[in-house]
A and B are shown apart, each in its own frame.
Chain A
Amino acid sequence: MTHHVLDARRLLCPMPVIRAQNTVARLAPGDTLEVQATDPGALHDIPTWCRVHGHEVLSTANVKGEVRVTLRVTHS
């Protein structure tokens, strides 16, 4: 199980979601991924994508315009 960080700052939605999706595709079950974004849409869209695909959202935060969503990959 490995922790990964994806820098999706300055990308506009839906690109942070697409980058997160493509990164998760390369990870193993149990791995965690922190997505960093500046588009506020990522705060809603990435958790929705996780629910749709069955991955676990561990935390979400929006601090001074920087969104952070951490998820756990549940399946390959």
Chain B
Amino acid sequence: MAQPEWPLLTAVRDAGTDDPVFQWLLLAGPFVIGLIVLVGRSPLTTAIAGGYLAMLITNTLRNGV
């Protein structure tokens, strides 16, 4: 699937590995933290933050297997 092209974001995304999950995590990071700043500690934000970390670890391990 072709990924959308935005001038600055594309440059940032392409600087790292070719893995789309990591690229997505990099771009989603500020939004997750921004959500926590706005909403505070709640089951939803805790689940999203936990999911973010779980996705990072799982994808790293999946790439290695």
Is this pair of chains taken from one and the same complex? Answer: no
Show the binding face of B for A, using Cβ within 8 Å: none
